[in-house]
Amino acid sequence: MINLTLEVCVDTAAGLQAAVEGQADRVELCSALELGGLTPSIGLMQLAHNSTVPVYAMIRPRAGDFCFTDAEINVMADDIRAASDAGLAGVVLGAANADNTLNTQALATLCELAGPMGKTLHRVIDTLQDAHLALEQAIDLGFDQVLTSGGQPDAIDGVDMLAQLQVRAAGRIAIMAGSGVTPARVAQLHRQTGIVDFHASCRVPVPLNHRFSQLGFGSAIEQRTDVDMIRQFRLQLDGLTDNPSD
């Protein structure tokens, strides 16, 4: 029997609660999901310590590219320590060089600092010139899984690369498909790639009080983690588990 898993990325306390209630298998804890996810606050990390599902903290000090300065690498190191001190299960990180290769030197230092915590290489791999080489490097660095959309903005358009990476991984590391993954698409992605681990935000648009958006405290429409969508995912994944030929 295959076991299909769902990781939900959240950036609020309410989102964390929704992920737990919806029976996600793991949580990626972030801030600023609208920017692709940045490092969560220490307070949110400490809150997640009590989660009944494993929580991985995003370690990304700013938006934009993944070519981090020495000062930014030091910030990432301190954030990994904070995640460890909060008792979280793992961290999500990545770093690149200016020539679009994986910054293995920086990542070796950060992975060593993370110690026995779980480690996910994030979608930095989708920006690199050679995803296959980066996958081998991630394995050598001790990462447990790689989050990727197959080099495309939407995972459904990256199925060829996702399938290639899944074959190359050969059970040495988990390939987790993310970006644009919905309950309606997960069966197709599984069939076309063989991937069993999926990542999604499971968010729905919610209007913000006009007064707050007018004063600049948020956009007119906010995206919030939706427990019902997570439950829909769970039903889809459980159905694929029960009927692996579907």
How is the chain split into domains, by residue range? 5-11+18-242
Q: What's the rounded mean pLDDT across residues 163-190?
A: 97
Judged against a pLDDT cut of 80, whether residue 246 lies above it is answered with no
115 vs 155: CA distance, rounded Å: 30
58 falls in which pLDDT band (50, 70, 90)?
very high
142 vs 45: CA distance, rounded Å: 23
The neighbour count for residue 61, using CB atoms within 10 Å, is 16
Q: What's the rounded mean pLDDT across residues 78-96?
A: 98
Mean model confidence pLDDT for the chain = 94
pLDDT, position 125: 98
102 vs 67: CA distance, rounded Å: 9
pLDDT, position 220: 75
pTM: predicted TM-score of the whole model, two decimal places: 0.94
pLDDT, position 33: 95
242 falls in which pLDDT band (50, 70, 90)?
low
Q: What's the rounded mean pLDDT across residues 124-140?
A: 98
Q: What's the rounded mean pLDDT across residues 123-141?
A: 98
Report pLDDT digits (tens) over 197-236.
Answer: 999 999 998 887 777 677 777 677 788 999 999 999 999 9
Which homologous superfamily does the CATH classification assign to the domain defined by 5-11+18-242?
Copper homeostasis (CutC) domain (3.20.20.380)
